[in-house]
Amino acid sequence: MPRFFPFDQAAGVLHELVESMVPGEELVLTEKGRPKVIVTKPPSSSWPCEPGSAKNTKHWMAKDFDEPLDDFADHF
């Protein structure tokens, strides 16, 4: 669903408006309640993560990670 924003108020905050958009989202700039400009953010051309970027990083997992939960004892 597109977002609507008054055209005359967009000049000072256009950068922030565009940066807050997700790919494929439409921003409709209006004048007197009528659409004047439609801005569409293009889809991302690359994935933000690189394969193997988490290699050699420390990860923590609780010792009881795979223990049954007390809340579900009745279901087992």
pTM: 0.55
Q: What's the mean pLDDT in 4-13?
A: 88
pLDDT on residue 68: 82
pLDDT on residue 72: 81
16 or 75: whose pLDDT is higher?
A: 16
pLDDT 10s digits, 11-68: 889 899 889 998 889 999 999 999 999 999 988 777 777 888 888 888 889 998 888 8
Residues 6+ apart with CB under 8 A from 39: 18, 21, 26, 27, 28, 29
Domains and CATH numbers, the chain: 1-43 (3.40.1620.10)
pLDDT on residue 39: 92
| Structure token digits, residue 19 | 């940066």
- Please, are residues 30 and 7 in contact by the beta-carbon 8 Å criterion? yes
